[in-house]
Amino acid sequence: MNPVKQRILDGDDKCDECGKHIPVGRLEAIPDTRYCVNHSKTAAYVGVMSYGHKTAGEVAYVKGDDEEAVRLLWRAYRRSR
Ligand SMILES: [Zn+2]
């Protein structure tokens, strides 16, 4: 079972601070986060190391509350492995 789906099924996808749902994109990027992006105690930015054929590896950053950007970044990351 995907840990993110499990958290949603368990109703464990809410911010500890405000009780709002944490966006799925954020959960996928940071599966163990306890907070929404507004109450994050850590960086609001998500970094993913991607490996290309020609580069040794580069880190891409997107804003953690931009669900679409996180989704695309995560997809590219999975594809690169
Ligand atoms: Zn919150």
- Structure confidence by residue, pLDDT tens digits, 11-62: 999 999 999 998 888 888 888 888 887 787 654 455 555 555 555 555 555 6
State in Å: Cα 74 to ligand 1 middle.
22
For residue 33, the CA-to-ligand 1 centroid distance in Å is 11
For residue 9, how far is its CA from the centre of ligand 1 (angstroms)? 19
Q: What is the pTM of this model?
A: 0.50
CA–CA dist 35, 15 (Å, integer): 4
The residue ranges of every structural domain in the chain are: 3-39, 45-80
What whole-number distance in Å separates Cα of residue 13 and Cα of residue 64? Answer: 15
CA 38 to ligand 1 center in whole angstroms: 5
